[in-house]
Each structure stands twice: as C-alpha cells, then as structure tokens.
Amino acid sequence: MPDFKKIIASALSSARETYLTLAKKGEVSIERGVGAFGDVSTIGDVACEEKIIEIITTQMDDLSIVTEERGIIGDIQNSKYIVLIDPIDGSTNMKRGLRFFSSGIAIFEGPRYEDIAAAGVIDIPGGQLFLADRKGVYVEDGAASATSPSIPKKLDSAVLSLDFRPLKRGGEAATRFLKLCQKVRYVRNLGSSLLEICQIVVGKIDAFVCLSPELRLFDLIPALFILEKAGGCWLMDRHRIELTETMIKDRYAVIAASNNSLLEEIVNVASLNWSLQYE
C-alpha cells in the first residue's frame, strides 16, 4: 500500500515550492482563463495543481483525480483511489499579497467521506504542514509537531471565523448569521477555509462557520478530516458526502469546531436543523 501521508507531504511541499518560484517572478496572479467549475484561474492555481498531479501520479497507480482547475480526470466510479485536490484555497488573498492561503489534498479509497485514507493542508506563505491518516494527526512547522484543539466551549469566550456571505443572500440565512454574531465575542474572517479549519487543530481559533452553501468539497474535506482526527467535530448541511459528479459541483454550508459543546451552541443559536454530525 502506498505511504499516503508521505505522498501528500511531498506533493504539497512541491506545490509550495512551485508557488514561491512563480512569486519571485511576479507571475502567480496572472489570469489564465476559467477552471472546470467556473472560477477564474491564475498561473499560480494552474502551476500548483500540475505539480501536485505530477507528484501523485508518479507515486500511485489506478487512481482518478478531482481537481478544482481541470475537473474530473479518470473514472471515479471504478478507480482504486480518488484524489481530491485544491491547488490554491484563498486565491484572492494570494492575488492581493495577503499571506493566508493554502493547498489541500485528500486521498480516498472509495467515493464516500468514510473512505478517506489520508489528507493534508499546507500553509503556502508560512510553510506549516497539516497531515492526517486513520491513525492520527501530524502538524509540522519546521521545529515541532503537536496538536492542541482549543478549549472554549461557549460562544462568549470563543474566537470564530465567520463567512459573511449569508448576508448577501438575505432572508433566513442573514437572520441566522446575525443571531450568531450577537452571541460571539471575537469574530474573524481570513479567506481560506482549509487553512482556517486547520487553525482549530492548533488552537488558534475555536470554530469556523459558513451558514449558507458557499463552499465546494475542495474547500473543506481535507481540513475536516484532519480536524476530526485531531479530536474536533464538524457538521454539514447534507446527510452524506460522496464524490459523485453532482456533489463535486455543488456548494455546502458547514460548521467546524474544537468540541461538541461549542458546535451544539452554534447550531442552537443559529436555529439549524442539520441532522448528521461527524466527530
């Protein structure tokens, strides 16, 4: 069996090096058309994705790939492995020079969330690497490895990263968002959901909340798997997660938290009826 964590670490580190090389040339933000799911692509997006695919395909066989830029490569229904790739999560931050964006990978041994064998996220500007497999989590920052999900179990003492897009939708989505804001003492919005969820793993924030369907599986799954293996919990607005073409294209709402008490309070304050929790 392939060493999934080693492969992911190699692919993410190589993607970061690719980004850094392009950044020195001032080329990362140059637009290169539209990706498979309708978002504008940059040279940075495309080059990092190609580097990840190169590393993955030289070390694994019988796989299909699902990428943000190129879409579905291969037969996801009949491959032994499926690799989900987000080459740059936080492209707007990257374009503007804000040092908070990431790359993420999840390797599946089947199409369902429960089939994930390993996942990883890398902080591209900072270099911190988050890895997890079914045995546990490894967080590497060049000097140490540790995981320490945050302690706060109440909103009035927690730091939350809130996606503000429910306000644009108005109606019930905006009402739920504002109810939550009234209860939260410390609010942040950082612009890379993968990296924000990983900040829960190391105790920097306590929860990440997106109350309306704004995020694709690329933006979520690698980090949610890492959080789960670190002892955190999460909840989505769907009953199941599976790599079908429809679900890959869809967008989702999510709550990720350091502990069940905090997650349950968020659900109650926002008056949500989402029914399936992974923990």
Task: Residue 33: give its domain's CATH number.
Answer: 3.30.540.10
Residue 49 maps to a domain: yes
Residue 1, token pair as written in the block: 């069996």
How far apart (Å, rounded) are the C-alpha atoms in residues 124 and 166? Answer: 28
Residue 229, token pair as written in the block: 């293996």
Residue 146 maps to a domain: no
Same domain, 128 and 185: no
Residue 182 maps to a domain: yes
Beta-carbon contacts of residue 144 (< 8 Å; ≥ 6 apart): none
Same domain, 176 and 125: no
Residue 150 maps to a domain: no
How far apart (Å, rounded) are the C-alpha atoms in residues 149 and 205? Answer: 9
Same domain, 109 and 224: no
Same domain, 229 and 257: yes
Same domain, 129 and 30: yes
Residue 149, token pair as written in the block: 């999900």
Give me the pLDDT at residue 39, please. Answer: 75
| Domain count across the chain | 2
Asked whether 219 and 194 are in contact (CB, 8 A), the reply is yes
Residue 13 maps to a domain: yes
Give me the pLDDT at residue 240, please. Answer: 84
Domain termination residue (choose one: 81, 107, 140): 140
Same domain, 98 and 159: no
Domain termination residue (choose one: 113, 140, 167): 140
What percent of the chain has pLDDT above 70? 93
Same domain, 54 and 96: yes
Residue 32 maps to a domain: yes
Q: What is the CA radius of gyration of the chain?
A: 18
How far apart (Å, rounded) are the C-alpha atoms in residues 209 and 252? Answer: 11
CATH code where residue 211 lies? 3.40.190.80
Same domain, 175 and 131: no
Same domain, 51 and 105: yes
Same domain, 26 and 123: yes
Give me the pLDDT at residue 256, please. Answer: 96
Residues of the chain with pLDDT under 70: 35-36, 38, 141-150, 152, 275-279
Domain termination residue (choose one: 140, 173, 200): 140
Residue-range definition of the domain harbouring residue 114: 4-140
Give me the pLDDT at residue 36, please. Answer: 67
Residue 147 maps to a domain: no
Same domain, 254 and 211: yes
Residue 18, token pair as written in the block: 């690719």
Q: Which residues of 221-234 are buried (b: 16+ CB within 10 A; e: fewer)?
A: bbbbbbbbbbebbb
Same domain, 64 and 190: no
Residue 87 maps to a domain: yes
